[in-house]
């Protein structure tokens, strides 16, 4: 399957986020999935925000699953746009959400929710996930 990752970028530590996303990707690819992660798979440093969003949405047309990584209750417009687009295209959405994030409406849009204590807990749960 082709899996695209969505995440909050603004306000996050970019190096820490990339490390987490690379670990998630490694788990998914070990299971035989193809992944797309805008921050890692496109030259986002030379792209405008609009170009990044347009590219991410274009890639989603060829994606089976949107995996949403949420470690904070802070809003992310880009992530919400990706979620809305995925839902509009009838894509499966898997929400990976930190247990400390208690107020998020994203939970309403998917039955596939992985709540995690810390990133190691998330990695273990992704390894056990049957997708």
Q: Which domain holds residue 78?
A: 2-128
Residues 42-59 have a mean pLDDT of: 76
User: Quick one: pLDDT at residue 74?
Assistant: 84
Number of structural domains (the chain) is: 1
Res 112 pLDDT > 70: yes
Characterise 26 by phi-psi region: left (phi > 0), alpha (psi -120 to 50), beta (else). Answer: alpha
For residues 71, 29, 43 and 51, what is the CA-based torsion angle, rounded to 10 degrees?
-70
At 94-105, the pLDDT tens digits run 999 999 997 678
Residues 6+ apart with CB under 8 A from 13: none
User: Quick one: pLDDT at residue 73?
Assistant: 86
pTM given for the model: 0.90
User: Quick one: pLDDT at residue 6?
Assistant: 93
Coil/strand/helix, residue 114? strand
Counting residues of the chain whose pLDDT is more than 70, the rounded percentage is: 94
User: Quick one: pLDDT at residue 18?
Assistant: 93
At 68-93, the pLDDT tens digits run 999 988 878 888 889 999 999 999 99
Cβ atoms 7, 94 nearer than 8 A: no
Cβ atoms 83, 6 nearer than 8 A: yes
User: Quick one: pLDDT at residue 55?
Assistant: 82
Cβ atoms 57, 82 nearer than 8 A: yes
Res 124 pLDDT > 80: yes
User: CA triplet 12, 18, 21: central angle to 5 degrees?
Assistant: 105
Res 45 pLDDT > 80: no
User: Quick one: pLDDT at residue 43?
Assistant: 67
Mean pLDDT of the chain, nearest integer: 90
Cβ atoms 63, 83 nearer than 8 A: no
**CATH code of the domain covering residue 65:** 3.40.50.450
């Amino acid at each position: 399957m082709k899996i695209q990752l969505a995440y909050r970028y603004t306000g996050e530590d970019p190096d820490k986020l990339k490390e987490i996303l690379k670990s998630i990707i490694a788990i998914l690819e070990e299971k035989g999935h193809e992944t797309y992660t805008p921050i890692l798979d496109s030259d986002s440093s030379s792209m405008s925000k609009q170009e990044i969003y347009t590219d991410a949405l274009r890639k989603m047309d060829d994606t089976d699953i949107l995996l949403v990584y949420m470690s904070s209750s802070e809003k992310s417009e880009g992530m919400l746009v990706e979620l809305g687009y995925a839902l509009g295209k009838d894509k499966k959405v898997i929400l990976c959400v930190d247990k400390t994030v208690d107020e998020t409406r994203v939970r309403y849009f998917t039955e596939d929710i992985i709540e995690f204590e810390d990133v190691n807990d998330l990695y273990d749960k992704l390894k056990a996930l049957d997708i």
